Structure 1
Amino acid sequence: MTIHSTTKAGYPFEPADCRQCARLATFLETVKERHPEYHARPVSAFGDARAQLLIVGLAPGMHGANRTGRPFTGDYAGILLYQTLYKFGLASRSESISLQDDLQLINCRITNAVKCLPPQNKPNPDEIRQCGHYLKIELDAFSNQGGRVVLALGAIAHRSVLQCLDLRQKDYPFSHGAAHRLPCAETKTIKLYDSYHCSRYNTQTKRLTAEMFEQVFAVISADLSIK
């Protein structure tokens, strides 16, 4: 089952009009004035409410999720992600353009560490911590519904997941292709995988290639097949 709302199947609602971070709220007002047709609000998670894989990115892109209202939709960062999800049977299409393209995620859900577009794509540490409240709710719901694997796209997403679970970065260092088993509740654990972010910069400089990205998903796919 694929949903576009976080209010179904036990998932919490992410306030569409959150203004807890003054810098981000002011910036979004400016963006909305320049681009009235843009979403320009906090971007909620997207995908299967009972997914076993949760992908955590950094933040909405100016002309991607900030425009369309769906994570990794409509900009360069989503190209490699959705192509790879489709290849591994986790998406119904290989391209995500808009909310009207009928793309569905299969056993997969996508969210961001920071829900609002930050200036220059760089959220401040206090903004990451503040928005961690929503990520923690998402992680708790994910675990409670049987979710088992989290993929962090980039070091900030990795650190945000650890902060939400009150874990220390030095105990679970970020590196591309790394895997960590994390305690997330009294009797539950999740497995955290790391990948470089599929940003334009990383893919064009070959820091992250399609082959490298697919290798991470191949391991995750094998992991998900093990009950």
Structure 2
Amino acid sequence: MRNVTDRTSNPFGLRAPFDRSDPGDRPAVFGYGDANADFHVIGDYPGVHGGETTGVPFTETEAGLAVQDVVRAVGFASGPRDEPVLENCFWSYVHPCSLPAGETPTDDDYDDLERFFDAELRAINAHILLPVGARPTDRVLREYTTQRRRYDDPLEMAALHASEIRGRGFLVVPIRDPREWGDGDREAIVARLEALLESDYRQTKGVATTVG
């Protein structure tokens, strides 16, 4: 099924359940990009991966822009860095709401906002999920695959980076948070994405048509 929408920012019209943002910041940074995308990049929260003032994931912060540069390198993004044009790619966060400067989400905060992330993930129904960092990767592996028990706790993101993990009807490709990248990490994820684009990656969905 194809999504019928011409909206790039928050295409499903989600509304923030609270506003704890600093003055001038957006209450929440919901999904952005191609609502019919095959590739879904999943970040953590606006304070670390950006968008508090732009309303667009993976903008403003060094870590967010590093992820955006990878997406650009494989041809998914073009145009302005604060409001890029995305093709075949969608961006969202496991915790979309903005918080006061210096405040980080608690476990309860992540649980409270899971319904928003889950709604976007299921609506996009991408072939490839690309969680960025330990928290998004842990959430995706726990909730949308049967593979979490196979990996250490906490996750060894250096070992998982740019690997392929089979999910329930899709493929998970974890990305180490750019703040922790070492030599070759950027090149590894670019190479993995290029290889997927050259493959028949749509077979990752098999007969499954919904996540879960």
- TM-score if structure 1 supplies the norm length? 0.73
Aligned residue in 1 for 2:131: 152
Aligned residue in 1 for 2:209: none
Q: Does 1:191 align with 2:171?
A: yes
- Percent identical among aligned pairs is 23
8 Å contact kept, 1:2–1:106: no
Long gaps (5+) in structure 2? 201-212
Aligned residue in 1 for 2:13: 13
What's the CA shift for 1:159? 1.8
What's the CA shift for 1:76? 1.7
Aligned residue in 2 for 1:129: 111
| CA distance 1:48–1:122, change in 2 (3 Å) | same
What's the CA shift for 1:112? 0.6
Aligned length: 189
What's the CA shift string for 1:98-151, capped at 9, x where partnerless? x4xxx20121111011001245352111111121111111121122xxx21011
Tell me the distance in 1 between the aligned counterparts of 2:86 and 2:149: 33
| CA distance 1:125–1:62, change in 2 (3 Å) | closer
Tell me the distance in 1 between the aligned counterparts of 2:72 and 2:30: 21
8 Å contact kept, 1:2–1:104: no
What's the CA shift for 1:85? 1.5
- Aligned to 2:76, which of 83, 90, 97? 90
Tell me the distance in 2 between the aligned counterparts of 1:14 and 1:214: 35
Aligned residue in 2 for 1:215: 188
What's the CA shift string for 1:16-69, capped at 9, x where partnerless? x312xxxxx4x42xx12xxxx332x11111111111100000000279411111
Tell me the distance in 1 between the aligned counterparts of 2:184 and 2:73: 12
| CA distance 1:51–1:172, change in 2 (3 Å) | farther
User: What pairs up with 1:42-57 in 2 under 5 angstroms?
Assistant: 42-57=28-43
8 Å contact kept, 1:2–1:47: no
Secondary structure, aligned partner of 1:195 = coil
Secondary structure, aligned partner of 1:55 = strand
Aligned-pair RMSD on alpha carbons? Answer: 2.5
Letter in structure 2 aligned against 1:150: L
Tell me the distance in 2 between the aligned counterparts of 1:224 and 1:56: 18
What's the CA shift for 1:209? 4.1
User: What pairs up with 1:94-133 in 2 under 5 angstroms?
Assistant: 96-97=81-82, 99=83, 103-118=84-99, 120=102, 122-133=104-115
Long gaps (5+) in structure 1? 20-24, 184-188
Letter in structure 2 aligned against 1:107: N
- TM-score if structure 2 supplies the norm length? 0.77
Aligned residue in 2 for 1:186: none
